[in-house]
């Protein structure tokens, strides 16, 4: 964990959580003693402006208070509180640490005022009430309202935690899965419809290094993982299921309204299939622990030990940074075909660690069982090598069973658009790619151009070998397929049955 540099006497440092995550990585905040910039006390209190957090707006104070509870439950030897303030005056550098709303399109900004030695003497968090894509929501029990799950609302609690992190000296993080990166994709999903904010291992570890520790243990497992650095911020994406060879299974969006690249996905599995389950393990407490992971099959997203246990194993969860791992588990062979299930995991399945919360001990991935007598992913081995015999075919209409050569591309964002007319009585549309080199992915959209942000199904393996099966596609109209990514000599076939 690192911190961002500031200057000196009553200087004001600005930290913002932007909607388009951009900036640079952490550095330690130096003081005159060459130590990190921080508070000299063990706590401070925000004054919440009654104009934006009181009366009919009290839901925002309640949500901000929940974020403070998440912060204060950690073993960091520092506490943050909030109280209502109705003096009608707010401002930066006025001697009061405040939280209030103003008009603006970035999500929020934190301002730290420091003394000559870099000690924080005042902090102010300013939320903006005109951010695009629907604005904020405080209702964490309406999962599908939020970006990545359905609609486009931003989670107020995670933004609040991000800004609280700035207020105690944390900078942006771009190396790990972290609340100080893209906070709106740093979440736990608890049950069928609820989301839960939390500080996370790396942020807690950095604060313990700065302020010391009290006591407390907490282990967690998340359905998100670190993806890449985007300026100052880490970007996060969904964990996946893989086959035994490490090839990502084909999947489709759970909610068709989701337009993000990190939508919740439903993976196609065959009863009896052995898969690799990707998950992010975190130790948000003080000590390393060797505990049991329990794997379950459930008919809903509320994973408990009352669901069907399908396997266990022991893992050691150390303290420092989040650990995204793949664990092998076999899907029961007696599951009903063509049925939605959830494969879930519980960390500390045997309950040996006394934790301050167990609300973050479970995670899940949606699965759809296919016909047990067929392979859900077509085998591309027999696909003709079109690039060996014909010129590349740029964006155009396709004919069923014809194999075309996809134009080469050197960028991961390069995209080729194709379409095909699906006549009446069509019951299956199959897309298959293979041959060549690189990492070309395929996207399918039944109603519009398929892109990484607008698709119904996708296949995103780590090479050019991709496949999708769309059962009972809409008929009497055009359907859209795109190839995205860096690739060379890649062949594509769409077959209608």
pLDDT in tens, 418-430: 999 999 999 999 9
Query: What CATH number should be reported for the domain whose range is 11-233?
Result: 3.40.390.10
Place of tokens 């890649």: 490
Instruction: Please state which of the ranges 18-32, 59-73, 184-198, 378-392 shows the lowest mean pLDDT.
Output: 18-32
Collapsing DSSP to helix, strand or coil, 274 comes out as strand
The number of residues making up the chain comes to 497
Instruction: Please state which of the ranges 156-160, 216-220, 255-259 shows the lowest mean pLDDT.
Output: 255-259
Is the confidence at residue 372, as pLDDT, over 90?
no
User: With bands split at pLDDT 50, 70 and 90, how would you rate the model's confidence at 351?
Assistant: very high
User: With bands split at pLDDT 50, 70 and 90, how would you rate the model's confidence at 70?
Assistant: very high
Q: How large a percentage of the chain has pLDDT more than 70?
A: 91
Mean pLDDT rounded to a whole number for the chain: 89
Supply the pLDDT for residue 24.
27
What would the mean pLDDT of 221-239 be, rounded to a whole number?
95
Closest by CA to 178, choosing from 212, 207, 214, is 207
Q: How does pLDDT run across 111-156, given as a tens digit for each residue?
A: 999 888 888 999 999 999 888 777 899 999 999 999 999 999 999 9
Q: What is the pTM of this model?
A: 0.78
DSSP character for 232? T
Strand stretches in 224-375, DSSP E: 224-230, 233-238, 241-242, 251-253, 265-269, 274-283, 289-298, 308-317, 323-330, 340-347, 362-369
Under a CB-based contact definition with an 8 Å cutoff, are residues 422 and 475 in contact? yes
Is the confidence at residue 19, as pLDDT, over 50?
no
What would the mean pLDDT of 353-368 be, rounded to a whole number?
96
Q: How far apart, in Å, are the Cα atoms of 202 and each of 162, 174, 232, 322, 354?
A: 13, 11, 15, 7, 21
CATH architecture of the domain formed by 380-496? Sandwich (2.60)
d(CA 239, CA 226): 9
Q: How far apart, in Å, are the Cα atoms of 152 and each of 127, 132, 146, 147, 365?
A: 18, 9, 5, 4, 21
Supply the pLDDT for residue 267.
94
Is the confidence at residue 391, as pLDDT, over 90?
yes
Q: 362-390: string of b/e by CB count within 10 Å (b at 16+)?
A: bbbbbbbbbeeeeebbbebeebbebbeee
Question: Is residue 331 packed enough to be buried (19+ CB in 10 Å), middle (13-18) or exposed (0-12)?
Answer: buried
Is the confidence at residue 294, as pLDDT, over 90?
yes
Supply the pLDDT for residue 269.
94
When computed from its CA atoms, the radius of gyration of the chain, rounded to whole angstroms, is 25
Q: Which residue has the higher pLDDT, 34 or 93?
A: 93
User: With bands split at pLDDT 50, 70 and 90, how would you rate the model's confidence at 3?
Assistant: very low
Is the confidence at residue 10, as pLDDT, over 60?
no
Domain segments of the chain as ranges? 11-233, 238-369, 380-496
CA-CA-CA-CA torsion for 186, 191, 193, 199, nearest 10 degrees? -20
Is the confidence at residue 44, as pLDDT, over 80?
yes
Element containing residue 124 per DSSP (H, E): strand 120-128
Closest by CA to 496, choosing from 466, 473, 467, is 473
Is the confidence at residue 308, as pLDDT, over 50?
yes
**CATH homologous superfamily for 238-369?**
Immunoglobulins (2.60.40.10)
Q: What are phi and psi of 65, to 5 degrees?
A: -65, -35
Q: How large a percentage of the chain has pLDDT more than 90?
A: 73
d(CA 92, CA 98): 8
Instruction: Please state which of the ranges 122-136, 206-220, 303-317 shows the lowest mean pLDDT.
Output: 122-136
């Amino acid at each position: 964990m690192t911190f961002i540099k500031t200057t000196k006497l009553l200087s004001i440092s600005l930290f913002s959580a932007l909607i388009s995550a951009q900036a640079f990585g952490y550095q330690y905040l130096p003081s005159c003693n060459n130590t990190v910039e921080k508070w000299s006390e063990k706590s401070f209190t925000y004054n919440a402006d009654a104009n934006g957090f009181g009366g009919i707006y009290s839901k925002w104070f309640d949500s901000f208070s929940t974020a403070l509870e998440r912060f204060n439950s950690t073993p960091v030897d520092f506490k943050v509180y909030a109280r209502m303030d109705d003096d009608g005056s707010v401002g930066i550098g006025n001697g009061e640490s405040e939280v209030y709303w103003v008009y603006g399109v970035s999500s929020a900004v934190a301002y730290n005022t420091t003394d000559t030695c870099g000690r924080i003497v005042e902090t102010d968090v300013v939320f903006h009430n005109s951010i695009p894509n629907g604005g904020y929501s405080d209702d964490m029990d309406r999962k599908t309202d939020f970006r990545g799950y359905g609609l486009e609302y931003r989670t107020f609690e995670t933004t609040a935690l991000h800004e609280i992190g700035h207020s105690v000296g944390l900078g942006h993080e771009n190396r790990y899965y972290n609340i100080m990166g893209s906070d709106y994709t740093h979440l736990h999903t608890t049950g069928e419809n609820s989301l839960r904010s939390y500080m996370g291992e790396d942020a807690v570890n950095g604060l313990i290094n700065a302020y010391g520790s009290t006591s407390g243990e907490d282990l967690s497992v998340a359905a998100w993982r670190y993806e890449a650095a985007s300026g100052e911020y880490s970007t996060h994406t969904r964990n996946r299921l893989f086959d035994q060879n490490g090839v990502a299974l084909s999947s489709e969006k759970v909610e068709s309204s989701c337009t993000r690249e990190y939508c919740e996905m439903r993976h196609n599995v065959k009863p009896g299939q052995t898969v690799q389950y990707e998950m992010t393990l975190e130790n948000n407490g003080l000590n390393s622990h060797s505990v049991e992971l329990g794997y379950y099959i459930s008919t809903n997203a509320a994973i408990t030990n009352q669901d069907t246990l399908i396997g266990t194993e022991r893992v050691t969860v150390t303290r420092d940074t989040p650990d995204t791992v793949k664990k092998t588990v076999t899907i029961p062979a007696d599951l009903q075909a063509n049925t939605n299930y959830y494969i879930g995991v519980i960390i500390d399945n045997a309950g040996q660690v006394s934790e301050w919360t167990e609300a973050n001990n479970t995670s899940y991935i949606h699965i759809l069982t296919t016909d047990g007598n067929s392979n859900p992913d077509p085998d591309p081995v027999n696909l003709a090598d079109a690039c060996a015999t014909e010129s590349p075919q740029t964006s155009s209409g396709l004919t069923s069973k014809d194999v075309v050569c996809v134009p080469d591309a050197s960028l991961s964002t390069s995209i080729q658009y194709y379409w095909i007319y699906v006549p009446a009585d069509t019951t299956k549309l199959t897309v298959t790619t293979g041959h060549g080199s690189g990492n070309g992915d395929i996207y399918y959209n039944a109603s519009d151009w398929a892109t990484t942000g607008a698709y119904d199904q996708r296949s995103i393996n780590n090479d050019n070998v991709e496949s999708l099966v769309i059962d009972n596609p809409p008929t009497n109209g055009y359907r859209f397929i795109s190839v995205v990514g860096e690739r060379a000599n890649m062949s594509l076939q769409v077959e209608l049955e």
